[in-house]
Amino acid sequence: MTTPEERTRAVVDTREFLDCLTCPVRTPGIPHEIRDQARRLLRHYPFATDMELAAFALPQWFGIAS
């Protein structure tokens, strides 16, 4: 069973992964289409601060990620 903290960590880690995909220095060799898709997804993806607010509003679903 996924805990609220694990769920939050997954969202925060996914943001970091998408951010990595957008940077050619950090991830060379990624096709341009993938980088563009990662940028489009990041435009509306929650930040860690958004997840903190979610944890406050819905503690049964989201927790504070360490």
Q: Provide the domain limits for residue 48.
A: 4-57
**49 inside domain:** yes
What pLDDT score does 60 carry? 95
- 51-58 average pLDDT score: 95
Contacts for 35 with CB less than 8 Å, ≥ 6 apart: 21, 22, 24
Distance in angstroms (rounded) separating the CA atoms of residues 47 and 26: 20
Contact between 48 and 19 (Cβ < 8 Å):
no
Number of domains comprising the chain = 1
Contacts for 61 with CB less than 8 Å, ≥ 6 apart: 4, 7, 54
Question: Where residue 65 falls among pLDDT bands split at 50, 70, 90?
Answer: confident
Q: Kindly report the pTM of this predicted structure.
A: 0.89
**62 inside domain:** no
**33 inside domain:** yes
**64 inside domain:** no
pLDDT tops 90 at residue 58: yes
**65 inside domain:** no
Tell me the one-letter amino acid at 3. Answer: T
User: Residues 10-54: pLDDT tens digits?
Assistant: 999 999 999 999 999 999 999 999 999 999 999 999 999 999 999
**22 inside domain:** yes
**63 inside domain:** no
**48 inside domain:** yes
